[in-house]
Amino acid sequence: MRSTLFAFFGAVLVVLTLVLPAEYGVDPTGVGDLLGLTEMGEVKVALAAEAEADRIAQAEAERYGSWRRASRSTLS
């Protein structure tokens, strides 16, 4: 039972100090900032947001382009 508790608290510690700052830019302890992980996480989050915006813009452009092509063919 004691080993299980140590493993659980060790995993929580790793998540709070390493995973959250590196993956999501969230640093509740400040250790990620000291190790430079928070900046890395913030860059990853910004790149993901930019990629999502590009994906949405591409989908809108494709939708508008197909509508525009369809309307031109009916006008001709």
Residue 39: which domain range?
2-75
Q: What is the pLDDT confidence band of residue 61, given thresholds at 50, 70 and 90?
A: confident
Q: Any idea what the Cα angle at residue 70 is, between residues 69 and 73, rounded to 5°?
A: 85
CA 29 from centroid of its chain's CA atoms: 20
Q: Is 32 exposed, middle or buried (0-12, 13-18, 19+ CB in 10 A)?
A: buried
Q: Which residues contact 9 (CB under 8 A, 6 or more apart)?
A: none
Structural domains counted in the chain? 1
Selection from 1, 3, 28 nearest residue 14 by Cα: 28
pTM over 0.75: no
pLDDT in tens, 7-27: 999 999 999 999 999 998 899
